[in-house]
Structure 1
Amino acid sequence: AGAMAAPAITVSSDIDRMVAVTLFVTFVLSINICGVVSSTKL
């Protein structure tokens, strides 16, 4: 949603923020896990 949802209702923007944070954390964790696995294989 990002910039389009900025003037939207507070509840929906809060949900958007929660979803974005969750996706970001999952993304970072998966990158870290991939780095640990690859360094372990090396």
Structure 2
Amino acid sequence: MTSAEPPETGSVVHGEPDARQALVDRISTELDWLAVAPQHLERVRLW
């Protein structure tokens, strides 16, 4: 999967903590995008 312009940050917000972190790691490694898994009740700016 590729994109002309990657997002500034990707937030992985669904799934168990270990699975979320695994997806963050894969996005970071395979797509070279900044990805994060916010903590429970943490607020993130969408745009």
The structure number with the bigger radius of gyration is 1
| More helix per residue | 1
In terms of fraction of residues, the more strand-rich structure is 2
Q: Which has the higher contact order (CA 8 A, sep 6+)?
A: 2
Whether the TM-score (by the shorter chain) exceeds 0.5 is: no
Question: Please, what TM-score do these two structures have when normalized by structure 1?
Answer: 0.41
TM normalised by structure 2 equals 0.38
